[in-house]
Structure 1
Amino acid sequence: MEHIRNFLRGKGFVLALLACVAAAAAVGVWAVRTVRDQMAEDLGKNPSQSITGEETFPGIDPEIQQDTEEQLWEQESTSAAQSVADVPESSSSGASSGASSGSGSVSEPSELQTESPIASASAGSGYTRPVSGQVLAVWSGDELVYNETLGDWRTHNGTDYACKAGEDVLAPVAGTVESLTAEGNWGVVASIRDAEGRLWRISALEDAAVQQGDAVTSGQKLGQAGTITGESALESHIHLEVLDGDKYLDPVKLIGS
């Protein structure tokens, strides 16, 4: 018996501590169960969330709430469809309707150009390309350009159109032949005065088919393409100028490229 008393006396503290831990655990379990039961009771009386995780609102019939949400979705979809319908449809013609031939821009001459439209009256313009070839050199305005034939810098007062030697040259505009005059390096120059008082000068013309004082129509044959010795470094071409008083105009802006 004395041996048992000595054992209990030595282990008494440890046993007391274990008893306290067991009691604390029991109290904790009881508290957790009490809180869980109370929450379950509260959720049964006034649920705030369904078992599916979808949000509900106290005092509102779930069916009414669902109908309201569906109406809201339908309204948003209708609004989006309306905004799309108001966007203008793209047109394939828009890309090709950029700058027209009368916009003031001029196509730069290029050796890559190989084909040009046949000389014909521009639609609704009353003007005609004098020959069918490509543009070799453009009107330069006040800018000086280098003349390879003469080896100097000067303004280029007209537009050069490529053509075959001896090709028919057509009147670029209706009017009256004011003169047929040989002008040195430019050959025979045919000058036509149009109804607006502008003077159209075509160099160089050979075997003229018209005479001074003749009334000509746009596209009428004036003669055949000759040689312009002042621009012989270029391939065979005719040189066209347009004068409004003493001011040179860009022929391409009037006739089109």
Structure 2
Amino acid sequence: MKNNQESKSFWKGKGFYLALTLVIAGAATASFLAINSMMDKLGADPAPQIQGEEDIPWQEEQHTPVEEKQEDVPVAPTSPSSSSKPQSTVSSAPSSSPASSAPAAPASSQPVQTPSFASPRAGAALQAFSGDELVFNDTMKDWRTHNGMDLAGAAGDAVTAPTGAVVARAYEDPQWGGVVELNAGKLTVRVCGLADIAVKEGDTVAVGDALGTVGELPAESAMETHVHLEFLEDGAYVDPAEYFAPVE
């Protein structure tokens, strides 16, 4: 009887708390088992692993350049047509050198000097320039053009430069005797039939300067003594009388 009362006192005191502890422990165990079962079901989808920062390779930041646009640059066609004309490109930028407002320099007031000419001999014209016309040569006994002017003179008479020029050549020719060739720009002058030539290649002469004296002229020896004068303009024979009148 006494034991029953003590047993009841125990359950009313400490026994109550022991029972409560067992209930809580059972509930915790059941919860753990339930959570564990759920985790087993989710085991097929494991949580993704977080890669450590030290395992990530360093990538240098790339800077993409921004395309720069240039103004007023002509664009060439990719497939130009062979028949199309090129288009001129006009720049919208102002010119770096403004147009000069200074007036143009006035033309020179000095008169234009033309070369002067004079007859190399104070003698009559024995035979004139024939151009394309054939004339009979008494010495050669044939018909030919007469490409110059023949001026009469006695052997030893002075022969002078018909114009200012540079001596291009001074030589002896078997047909034309002593020859002095003058270069006067576009004009070439040949004085043939000379003796005692007084100039040499490279000399500069003025109109009236001595070239030599009247000598022999084998190609026209059937005529009386004279000098043969030829003018060539741009390589073509022209009439010397167009430049000066023979002295009678």
Tell me the TM-score range normalised by the shorter chain. 0.5 to 0.7
In structure 2, which of residues 217, 223, 244 is the aligned counterpart of residue 255 of structure 1? 244
1: CA distance, partners of 2:142 / 2:157:
29
Instruction: List gaps (5 residues or longer) in structure 1.
Output: 1-123
Distance in 2, Cα, partners of 1:176 & 1:220:
12
Residue identity over aligned pairs, in percent, reads 40
Q: Which residue of 1 aligns with 2:105?
A: none
- What is the deviation of 1:245? 2.4
Tell me the amino acid that sits aligned with residue 135 of structure 1: A
* 1:161 partnered with 2:127: no
Aligned residues: 133
- Is residue 201 from structure 1 mapped to residue 206 from structure 2 by the alignment? no
Give 1:125 deviation, angstroms: 6.5
Looking at structure 2, the residues matched to 208 and 220 of structure 1 have their Cα atoms a distance apart, in angstroms, of 12
Tell me what 2:210 maps to. 221
2:178·2:197 contact (CA, 8 Å) conserved in 1? Answer: no
Name 1:76's counterpart in structure 2: none
Matched, 1:128 2:109: no
Where is the helix percentage greater, Structure 1 or Structure 2? 1
In structure 1, what is the equivalent of residue 226 of structure 2? 237
* CA–CA distance in structure 2, aligned partners of residues 256 and 125 of structure 1: 15
Q: Deviations over 1:166-194 (max 9, x none)?
A: 10100000000000122211011100111
Structure 2 contact 115–163 (Cα < 8 Å) conserved:
no
Match of 2:161 among 141, 154, 171: 171
2:181 maps to: 191
Q: Which whole-Å CA distance do the structure 1 matches of 2:218 and 2:228 have between them?
A: 11
SS in 1 for 2:126: strand
Structure 2 residue identity aligned to 1:180: A
The one-letter code matched in structure 2 to 1:204 is: G
Select the structure of larger CA radius of gyration.
2
Q: What is the identity, as a one-letter code, of the residue corresponding to 2:198? A: A
**Mapped pair 1:140 → 2:123:** no
Q: What is the identity, as a one-letter code, of the residue corresponding to 1:233?
A: A
Note the alpha carbon deviations across 1:2-50, whole angstroms, 9 max, x for none: xxxxxxxxxxxxxxxxxxxxxxxxxxxxxxxxxxxxxxxxxxxxxxxxx
Distance 2:206 2:235 in 1: 24
TM-fit CA distance, 1:210: 1.1
Q: 1:176 to 1:125 in 2, by over 3 A?
A: closer
Please give the TM-score of this superposition, normalised by the length of structure 2. 0.52
- The root-mean-square deviation of aligned C-alpha atoms, in Å, is 1.3
Runs of 4+ in 1 over 6 A off after TM superposition: none
Partners of 1:125 and 1:190 lie apart in 2 by 19
Q: CA deviation at 1:197?
A: 2.1
* Separation (CA, whole Å) in 1 of partners of 2:242 and 2:192: 19
Q: Deviations over 1:183-228 (max 9, x none)?
A: 211011100111x321100001111111110000001111111110
Residue matched to 1:181:
171
1:87-125 deviations in Å (ceiling 9; x for gaps): xxxxxxxxxxxxxxxxxxxxxxxxxxxxxxxxxxxxx97
> Which residues of 2 match residues 15-34 of structure 1 at below 5 A?
none
TM-score, normalised via structure 1 length:
0.50
1:88 aligns with: none
Q: Deviations over 1:107-151 (max 9, x none)?
A: xxxxxxxxxxxxxxxxx9711110111000000000000000110
Conserved? CA contact 1:125–1:255, under 8 Å = no
Instruction: Name the SS for the 1:255 alignment partner.
Output: coil
